[in-house]
Structure 1
């Protein structure tokens, strides 16, 4: 059973993320917990806190009822989905707490779009959750198409250990998807071809029947290379490991935010290493 926390503020972006994961896991046994974080924008009078919180929770429940009816009508009445409203803040800490209490396997969040990656990794709820959570985080841009996950691209610096490789392959098996281990390089092309040949022969020898291969793309900039590769090779899921600090900072540093115009609108799966 795959337990999924789908965080929502009942916006179109979070609804799109919910529909994405419903579709992606349609062949799996799953339970989806729709989580809304209830928080106050400012400190109200102490005597009113309780009534205001109850009012916000009631509104969230009615919003969920409306969302649920729409989703059930589209995907079927027997969809294993339930609602949970949690009071507190900041939102990413509340999401983490609920995921821990629920023993979740995956947290799913939506966002308005990936044309400005600063919105993803510079202060948004999705950013904070991805950076701090111990759980796998799926970030679904509102512009991505809702298709089955058939092609996973793992942005690698070629120093992934076996535990990280196994984590990627876990999702490949889960979604019955092929995997491209993508390396962006800027050195001699013949050297890179020789390296890819050795790596792919090693995978073939060790894993044989897995639908996985190393691929490379020449570009001076990691982020631009990933963007171009995913634009040229339709990608359903882009995997990154946040612990690769130098690689990660190159990928999501605010100084190169303009280079991160992921107009390919790829869904991200953010994983932590042990």
Structure 2
């Protein structure tokens, strides 16, 4: 059975992400993997291996208990299978390992944004998972409205595998009875707007019987263009597509994706590209 991984630290932010994840899993007929990654914050360097092993055992027992409580609280009406995992380690590394082991379809993570030190740590964990994940990652800010998805917005750069990416988005949108909006940000310094319009129209020819539209907005950069569009148009989910890892650290993808992970109030889906 295909699955969604939901990392949790048992906070309200993580619970909100779990509620969102359960809706996604229900609509896409996926199982849930509820994951808590723990560490030994109070351990001393001179403790013996047997003492540390005992502490890990006790911490895992406590984690297992909390996961069972969380499952009963938040997933009482969830129909598919829920697997509970408590693992000792580094958050981003464990999530990556588990996603590969279970061949996850999605990861769903909550984030507190960037308002204080702890929030920055959580935002960093989320960012690292997004950066390294081989599967799509939903990022759910604690301030997000997780209402029914009616309008999905995909910020497209019109390069590399766009038909495949849009097909994946449309398939998700269909399950939610949502509309797919392809948004391209045209640089205000570039004169050839007609070329972008032609590319948008060409892309739509692959989806003639789908609920989909193409839009172009002007902006001096991608963040400005997306935010300008969202000020005037309803959106329930923003989708960004990553380049392969070799391109990840260039200015566009680093600044845009990190901005929307840390400073945004709408659910975000980041797809490998």
**Smaller-chain TM-score range?**
0.7 to 0.9
Asked whether 1:30 is paired with 2:33, we answer no
> Is the contact made by 1:120 and 1:127 (CA closer than 8 Å) also made in structure 2?
no
Q: C-alpha separation between the residues in 1 aligned to 2:112 and 2:263?
A: 13
**Secondary structure of 1:155's partner?**
strand
Q: C-alpha separation between the residues in 2 aligned to 1:169 and 1:233?
A: 19
**Secondary structure of 1:241's partner?**
strand
The normalised TM-score by structure 1 is 0.83
Q: C-alpha separation between the residues in 1 aligned to 2:11 and 2:212?
A: 36
The normalised TM-score by structure 2 is 0.83
> Is the contact made by 1:121 and 1:252 (CA closer than 8 Å) also made in structure 2?
no
Aligned length: 262
Of the three residues 47, 50, 58, the one matched with 1:47 is 50
Map of 2:89 onto structure 1: 88
Map of 2:240 onto structure 1: 240
Q: C-alpha separation between the residues in 2 aligned to 1:42 and 1:32?
A: 31
Map of 2:165 onto structure 1: 164
Any residues of structure 2 matched to 1:1-274 within 5 Å, and which? 1-41=1-41, 44=44, 45=47, 46-73=49-76, 76=77, 78=79, 80-89=81-90, 91-113=91-113, 124-161=124-161, 162-187=163-188, 191-192=192-193, 194-195=194-195, 197-243=197-243, 245=248, 246=250, 247-252=252-257, 261-262=263-264, 265-273=265-273
> Is the contact made by 2:4 and 2:31 (CA closer than 8 Å) also made in structure 1?
yes
Question: How many Å apart are 1:5 and its aligned residue?
Answer: 0.5
> Is the contact made by 2:7 and 2:34 (CA closer than 8 Å) also made in structure 1?
yes
> Is the contact made by 2:189 and 2:220 (CA closer than 8 Å) also made in structure 1?
no
RMSD over aligned Cα, in angstroms? 2.9
